[in-house]
Amino acid sequence: MRYDNRYIKVLRMLKEYDGYISGEYISNILGVSRVSVCKYISLLRSKYGYIIDAKPRVGYRLLSIPDRLLPWEIMERLEGKSRMVKDILYYDEVSSTQDIALRLAEQGKHSLLVVAERQLKGKGRLSRRWISPHGGIWFSLIVKPDIHISSVSMLSLASALAVCNAINSNYNLNAKIKWPNDVIINYRKVAGILVDASIEQDEMHYAIIGIGINANVSKDTIEKGISDYARQENDVYYKYGYGLTTLIHELNMRVDRVRLLADTIIWFESIYDMLHHNKAEFIEEVKRHMVLGKVSVVSREERIEGYAIGIDEDDGSLLLNYEGRIRKVIAGDVYIRYSI
Ligand code: BTN
């Protein structure tokens, strides 16, 4: 989708020019009045947070772009690089992007990205709450996968790998996958993935890839969100919490959220192609980015201590060396044992 509103066209012109650009020139090129140009400039400033300097008798100059996941900014980065995103739905505040995407997927929509600055009821795995304040990257992508349904669990590994690559290629960090769908930095969770798929008679109608990255949000804010929620729900998991981190905490600086989001999608698409055409290479790539070694795996039934050695090529389950035998773990939470 192209964003063709007049104010976006004004914004594009401001971006193309390094210096000041006169209101008269903008109005001539776009065929609108000077008053309208003024109106678009003030909309860009007040509604969307662009900093635009104005010099009398000289013109306008774009000084900075806001730290927001504005759809035209995301689309600009994806242009010519993505086939899976044709349209973007953007919300400042939403209950859960995953719920919105699910509803739209049921109506037959796909290639649609749902993005929010903040989620009030973000959904995590195993019906957990995902604390999603302003500053994070929260989005859900509706895809129509053409892979076999047995590979559905691979979609979350592919997404986790995409997040790792997007983070590591932009910043000097060593993000890794913690099976099945967490992304961690220095043993602390920085991002989570939730995949909902609709499968009927061996056919996958759609999959919703939900990704949450703790980006420009303080650790304290998320920790407080978790403990408030835990108190409210009297939930043991949240009460004891888990190690978490955020990118701003790791880097001591704000990250470019639009770039990270777009890069995650671009990586996801190329990893998805790898999964489609060369599964063995995909498995190797996941293994290379995964936390291996001594772990405890806790599922509803049991707790097993063993060594994570890789993932199963058929269904993406975790391969664990447990007392000398290889066991396949289909579901569970992995806790890394530090004394490797
Ligand atoms: C997890 O680790 O438990 C998965 C977290 C997934 C969170 C993302 S944020 C965007 C999308 N919308 C949601 O409500 N959840 C996912």
pTM of the entire predicted model: 0.94
> Which parts of 209-256 fold into alpha helices (H)?
219-233, 236-240, 247-251
Q: CA torsion angle for 260, 265, 267, 269 (degrees, to 10)?
A: 180
Nearest CA to ligand 1 atom 2: 192
Q: Please say if the pLDDT value at position 239 is more than 50.
A: no
Q: How far is the CA of 302 from the centre of ligand 1 (A)?
A: 25
Nearest atom, ligand 1, residue 181 CA: 2
- With the most atoms of ligand 1 within 8 angstroms of its CB, the residue from 121, 190, 194, 217 to mutate is 194
What pLDDT does 296 receive? 87
- CB 194 less than 6 A from any atom of ligand 1: yes
* Res 151: pLDDT: 80
Q: Is the CB of 82 under 6 A from ligand 1?
A: no
Dihedral, 183, 335, 333, 103 alpha carbons, nearest 10: -20
| pLDDT band for position 240 (cuts 50, 70, 90) | very low
Locate the ligand 1 atom nearest the alpha carbon of residue 96 and give its number.
Answer: 14
* Minimal-distance CA residue to ligand 1 atom 11: 210
The residue whose CB lies within 8 Å of the most ligand 1 atoms, and thus the one to mutate among 90, 114, 117, 123, is: 123
Structure confidence at residue 339 (pLDDT): 44
The ligand 1 atom nearest the CA atom of 136: 9
pLDDT in tens, 3-14: 779 999 999 999
Give the C-alpha separation, 212 to 241, whole Å: 17
Q: Give the pLDDT confidence of 99-132 residue by residue, as tens digits.
A: 999 999 999 999 999 999 999 999 998 888 999 9
What's the pLDDT score for residue 237?
54
β-strand 176-178 against 87-94: which pairing, if any? unpaired
Q: To 10 degrees, what angle do helices 34-46 and 23-30 make?
A: 100
Q: Is 136 in the pocket of ligand 1 (CB under 6 A)?
A: no
> Is the CB of 23 inside a 6 Å radius of any atom of ligand 1?
no
| Residues 250 and 187: beta-carbon distance below 8 Å | no
Q: Helix, strand, or coil here: 192?
A: strand
Q: pLDDT per residue over 55-106, tens digit each?
A: 999 999 999 999 999 999 999 999 999 999 999 999 999 999 999 999 999 9
